[in-house]
A and B are shown apart, each in its own frame.
Chain A
């Protein structure tokens, strides 16, 4: 089996390059169809995210697989870019290194934000698309199934995925989810149209939030943001009534002074009946006076609070990394051992058949010379032959299995073929 990986990621390429080589789902499907036409003997899975574009290819030994250059040409040709522009910025790995890379990616250890959970779903989707387009085969099936198992094992045996490190994910995953059980029935109010607010809104929508209201001094930006997230824009003058109704507030204005003082909040407080209110004040300087957080039922978090939590989580993740990497190394070694062992299967099968054939011939000759033997004696002799064959074959087969752990046992296999004339 030959395994190959060609691609680029946030580690070794610019955003510009990744944007030029990225595939949306439709393009990925077309690319895989073209791959099958160009490299019919090679299986392929295409992984394209905002941080990486990687082509995983696999083919049997002796089959015609693509070279690094050919894969680069394929990518360049599909996107209409010049090969020299991208060739040196693509990395290539093969064999065990390619497997280890895939397992590392699937376990989110190679991500821009280590431990972010989206990559596993993206790897799964890439593999499912390859199956649908029939560019995946038994070799990539084994590899990607093993990658998903490895990622699940990292999730199960470490707390890597539990610790969020980006501000929006900490805000929603750690604080909001400790206050609210569900988000689909919550009213979300976004004050301002800042970048951080949008990112937080994305996480909220992933968590199920449906009812989003955006309010901004500039109505146009509010309308644009609302439309992008399927919400509604409201005029700035309605802020008080919106604060009364809201369950969760994300505030990111660029105001130099707080827009909601304790005094202002005190006027609307009675109308809330102490209903829990989560305020994520992501603005610098703050939009909400700190004293607002002292009100009953109000949970106010500033950027400092969220950053402190993110830092704690980063430290905890770093502590979990060695364990996660050990799992990846273990799973890679196990996968490679299985692949090597499987590659020896046909030769071992021929050896066993050859042995059995010779044994059967000798038994027929023996029984022909001893026609008076009863059935039980014949059975006893057959069983003795079987035991003898198994005992003779056991040492070489065990040795092949042991050698498979360290790599493909080419030398042993070739020796067996020559010694026992096991030619194809």
Chain B
């Protein structure tokens, strides 16, 4: 968008992060309000940026890997703003904003070209992308809560003072958020997987060029990611200690590590769903071409 680039909102979030770090040492409402202000400004800029991209997109709006990362960053930044506004004692920004900046950074490495979609597949494609996005954000929220839990548990075990700059939520609250994050991420990614399967079947039946072979690595990676999240959720449901105390935090942190690996491989992937496996138009290779290569 003319006048607004990713640097604009990334810079805002960076300043907000520095202000949140300053809150660890300095007390006072001014820092909190300033941090909120910078996150708010960043969100507005990012909203305008994404809105412009959605408006000028030749195909479905916000349907490239690049957009996906930026929307995930937007969602997390909105979560941070909400938490800072309504839970002001906790400097959430020092946990959440680095993730936001990492997602913006990852977007720069992702493919800018939109996933081509026939009208018939657009709905399922949008559902697929949206629910994977929500699932990823849930994993990140769980990671932040898990990290906070481990920090808080360590502090309490060591009998360290709360300090004026860092008041974390209670262990019970963090444990609850952890547990819910796992459940939500399973639901969201599960719907994302199912809609992806339906999308592929739709493309298959309509003989579309975008059909993804079932052997494509992303199918297996997605399945693996979902399987891990499902296992974590079932583990907590069946094994009581897994939903209490630090074990829940370990599960959400491990889920985040899985997610990072998944996204990193996705960025470097040469498969047909991956960023680097696309042709001139960003389309998956046509079936005829795949057959010829075989």
Which residue numbers of A lie inside 8 Å of B, CB to CB?
A: 159, 174-175, 177-182, 273-276, 293, 296-297, 299, 301, 305, 309, 312, 316
Are the CB atoms of B170 and A180 closer together than 8 Å? yes
A214 and B123 CA atoms in complex are apart in Å by 62
* B159 and A301 contacting across the interface, CB-CB below 8 Å: yes
Which residues of B have CB within 8 Å of A274? 241, 244-247
User: How far, in whole Å, are A410 and B220 apart by their CA atoms in the complex?
Assistant: 90
Which A residues lie within 8 Å of B247 (CB)? 274
The chain B residues found within 8 Å of chain A, CB to CB, are 27, 152, 156-157, 159, 161-162, 164, 168-173, 176, 240-241, 244-247
- In the complex, what residues of B have CB within 8 A of residue A174's CB? 162
Task: Output the least CB separation between B175 and chain A (Å).
Answer: 8
Q: Are A296 and B246 in contact (CB under 8 A)?
A: yes
Across-interface contacts of B164 in A (CB, < 8 A): 159, 316
> Which residue of B is nearest A301, CB measured?
B159
Asked whether A273 lies within 8 Å of B156 as measured between CB atoms, the reply is no
Chain A residue with the shortest CB-CB distance to B176: A181
| Nearest neighbor of B163 in chain A, beta-carbon distance | A312
A102 CB, min distance to chain B CBs, angstroms: 28
Nearest CB in chain A: distance from B86 CB, A: 15
CB distance A178 to B171 under 8 Å?
yes
Docked-complex contact B162 and A178, CB < 8 angstroms: yes
* Alpha-carbon distance between A175 and B161 when the two chains are bound, in angstroms: 9
B172 and A180 contact, CB distance less than 8 A: yes
A178-B170 contact given A159-B27, A309-B161, A312-B161, CB 8 Å threshold: yes
How far, in Å, is B83 (CB) from chain A's closest CB? 16
Q: Which residues of A contact B156 (CB under 8 A)?
A: 175, 178-179, 299
Q: Which residue, A174, A177, A274, has most C-beta atoms of chain B within 10 A?
A: A274
- 30 residue pairs of the A-B complex, CB under 8 angstroms, read A159-B27, A159-B164, A175-B156, A177-B170, A178-B171, A179-B156, A179-B171, A179-B172, A180-B170, A180-B172, A181-B169, A181-B170, A181-B172, A181-B173, A181-B176, A182-B172, A273-B240, A273-B241, A274-B244, A276-B171, A276-B172, A276-B244, A293-B157, A297-B244, A297-B245, A297-B246, A299-B156, A301-B159, A309-B161, A312-B161
Q: Which of B27, B176, B240, B245 contacts A296 (CB 8 A)?
A: B245
